[in-house]
């Protein structure tokens, strides 16, 4: 057989039906469901008298609307509550055994719990009505975000109609410099290729710097693939992946797992297989990044300055930069380190895993949050929260003056009580700095957990390498 990429191997193994000129029918191994993009899909099933075809391959949780205050305090927004109640009802009516509501010990951000509980595994096809489904590709699977009509389609048929995407290799050569994190890798990549650089493609991240990342770091990289426009991101499974899977509660165990691991060893891209495009980045060129604008490709190194819109080549770029600076309340050529912040948000499906919390805790241990800053930590899942508490990380954060919250999407997207006030400026470990993303008029700067922690202490952005 001809040499194939990892994506092609997974795709080929899941084709149910193909006809020339039509999208392929692809079997879906894991469907993750949350409360925001599913109610209309369940309604569609009801109206057509259809069932969920494979409840055993469907995992549901509540994350976007859930407040991050204590669980004893009820959901106060009645419209949010109605949406959460709808998922309760739909999970019961359609018989979803793996539904984790707000109070479950397995609850959390859908892209945190999938891998953490052992549902996301190498070689699988994974979908979710959420663009950050790309996260799961870190385990060596093909994971795509879909819309609500497609959610309904997968619920009814366990398949997805897809035109085969093109492939793109993003290789990060060399060892990652000290003080530079997975978040900086992906911000650097997006800054390099732009917010539509990956459109129509599935990215496979390769190279020494990627291989050296923990699973949590790999998930951070794959998470933001969509911010570069890509359909999906993926990383070949290796011993790091297998060791991670070994300790997951719902992953296969014993002889079954060992047999699976042998199978998974054949997933990586064959020598000689070709990608439609390749981008190469040198890890040595990466540094801690901070976004200065309102799209994730508007990034600068911490030691740089806010760019002058006049320095951009095209009129469209100049106008976009001018508009971004106006919205962000920044001046051309202002030093990034001189930007003062009001809020710090450590959380979201990009950076709310245990490694992220440990990295931030290491920066703040024994220090105090600036009196001008309100800082919060929102673990990605109830399990991550419990793990962090068992290690005493909650105390490190609380001692430093951080607010320690209950798991959820929180201030990533402004649809639960955690939002910025107009004009407030936030150092955020989330993935989108769009206008109004964290609340109307809010100003978002995307950074790594380490950089967010350092900014919380300093009250402005600062180079964590000097901490």
Partner 1 sequence: MEPFVKLEGVVAPLDAVNVDTDMIIPAVYLKSIERTGFGQFLFDRYRYNEDRSENPDFLLNQDAYRSARILVSGPNFGCGSSREHAPWALEDYGIRCIIAPSFADIFFNNCFKNGVLPLILPEDDVRRIMDKAKDNPGFQLTVDLEGKQVRDSDEEIVVDFEVDEFRRYCLLNGLDDIGLTLQHEDAIAAFESR
Q: Which residues bind partner 1 (CB under 8 A)?
A: 16-17, 21-23, 25, 27, 36-37, 39-40, 43-44, 48, 50, 64-65, 77, 79-80, 82-83, 86, 129-131, 133, 145-150, 152-153, 156-159, 161, 163, 195-196, 199-200, 226, 229, 231, 295, 316-317, 320, 413-415, 432, 434-437, 440
Cβ neighbour number for residue 371 with a 10 Å cutoff: 7
Please state the closest distance from residue 105 (CB atom) to partner 1, in A. 26
Q: Which lies closer to partner 1 via its Cβ, residue 268 or residue 408?
A: 408
Please state the closest distance from residue 322 (CB atom) to partner 1, in A. 12
Please state the closest distance from residue 213 (CB atom) to partner 1, in A. 25
CA pair distance 238, 368, nearest whole angstrom: 39
Q: Which lies closer to partner 1 via its Cβ, residue 148 or residue 214?
A: 148
Contact between 221 and 246 under an 8 Å Cβ cutoff? The reply is no
Q: Which lies closer to partner 1 via its Cβ, residue 108 or residue 145?
A: 145
Question: Maximum distance among all alpha carbons in the chain?
Answer: 63
Q: Taking the alpha carbons of 120, 126, 129, 131 in that order, is the dihedral positive or negative?
A: positive
Please state the closest distance from residue 204 (CB atom) to partner 1, in A. 17
Give the DSSP H/E element, type plus range, for residue 24: strand 24-27
Please state the closest distance from residue 320 (CB atom) to partner 1, in A. 6
- The closest of 40, 217, 30, 52 to 128, measured between CA atoms, is 30
Q: Which lies closer to partner 1 via its Cβ, residue 167 or residue 181?
A: 167
Q: Which lies closer to partner 1 via its Cβ, residue 21 or residue 271?
A: 21
Q: Which lies closer to partner 1 via its Cβ, residue 80 or residue 429?
A: 80
CA pair distance 195, 60, nearest whole angstrom: 30
CA pair distance 362, 292, nearest whole angstrom: 26
Q: Which lies closer to partner 1 via its Cβ, residue 148 or residue 240?
A: 148
Give the DSSP H/E element, type plus range, for residue 446: strand 443-446
CA pair distance 238, 82, nearest whole angstrom: 43
Please state the closest distance from residue 282 (CB atom) to partner 1, in A. 27
CA pair distance 294, 323, nearest whole angstrom: 9
Q: Which lies closer to partner 1 via its Cβ, residue 121 or residue 226?
A: 226
Please state the closest distance from residue 246 (CB atom) to partner 1, in A. 26
Q: Taking the alpha carbons of 374, 375, 380, 383 in that order, is the dihedral positive or negative?
A: negative
CB neighbours of 296 closer than 8 A, spacing ≥ 6? 187, 190, 195, 224, 227, 228, 431, 432, 433, 446
CB neighbours of 187 closer than 8 A, spacing ≥ 6? 224, 289, 291, 296, 299, 446
Please state the closest distance from residue 359 (CB atom) to partner 1, in A. 27
């Amino acid at each position: 057989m001809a040499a194939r990429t990892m994506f092609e191997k997974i795709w080929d193994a899941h084709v149910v039906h193909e006809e020339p000129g039509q999208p392929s029918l692809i079997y879906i191994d894991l469907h993750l469901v949350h409360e925001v993009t599913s109610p209309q899909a369940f309604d569609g099933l009801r109206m057509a008298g259809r069932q969920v075809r494979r409840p055993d391959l469907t995992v549901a949780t509540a994350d976007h609307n859930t407040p991050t205050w204590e669980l004893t305090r009820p959901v106060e927004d009645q419209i949010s509550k109605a949406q959460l109640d709808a998922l309760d009802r739909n999970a019961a009516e359609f018989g979803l055994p793996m539904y984790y509501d707000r109070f479950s010990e397995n609850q959390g951000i859908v892209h945190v719990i999938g891998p953490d509980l052992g549902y996301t595994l190498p070689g699988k096809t994974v979908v979710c009505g959420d663009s950050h489904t790309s996260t799961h590709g870190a385990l060596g699977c093909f994971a795509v975000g879909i819309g609500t009509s497609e959610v309904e389609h997968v619920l009814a048929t366990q398949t997805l109609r897809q035109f085969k995407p093109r492939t793109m290799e993003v290789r990060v050569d060399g060892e990652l410099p000290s003080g530079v994190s997975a978040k900086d890798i992906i911000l650097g990549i997006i800054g390099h290729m732009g917010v539509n650089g990956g459109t129509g493609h599935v990215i496979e991240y390769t190279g020494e710097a990627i291989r050296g990342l923990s699973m949590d770091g790999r998930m951070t990289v794959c998470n933001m693939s969509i911010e570069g426009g890509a359909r999906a991101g993926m990383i070949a499974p290796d011993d790091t992946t297998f060791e991670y899977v070994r300790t997951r509660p719902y992953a296969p165990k014993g002889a079954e797992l060992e047999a699976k691991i042998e199978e998974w060893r054949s997933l990586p891209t064959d020598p000689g297989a070709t990608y439609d495009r390749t981008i190469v980045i040198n890890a040595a060129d990466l540094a801690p990044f901070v976004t200065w604008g309102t799209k994730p490709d508007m990034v600068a190194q911490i030691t740089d300055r806010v760019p002058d819109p006049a320095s951009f080549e095209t009129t469209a770029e100049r106008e976009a930069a001018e508009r971004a600076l106006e919205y962000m309340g920044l001046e051309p050529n202002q030093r990034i380190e001189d930007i003062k912040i009001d809020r710090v948000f450590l959380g979201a499906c990009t950076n709310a895993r245990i490694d992220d919390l440990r990295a931030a805790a290491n920066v703040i241990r024994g220090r105090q949050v600036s009196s001008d800053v309100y800082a919060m930590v929102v673990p990605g899942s109830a399990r991550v929260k419990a793990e962090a508490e068992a290690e005493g990380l909650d105390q490190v954060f609380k001692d430093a003056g951080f607010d320690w919250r209950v798991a959820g999407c929180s201030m990533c997207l402004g649809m639960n009580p955690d939002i910025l006030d107009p004009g407030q400026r936030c150092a955020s470990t989330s993935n989108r700095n769009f206008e109004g993303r964290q609340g109307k008029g809010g100003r978002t700067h995307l950074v790594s957990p380490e950089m967010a922690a350092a900014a919380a202490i300093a009250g402005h952005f600062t180079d964590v390498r000097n901490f």
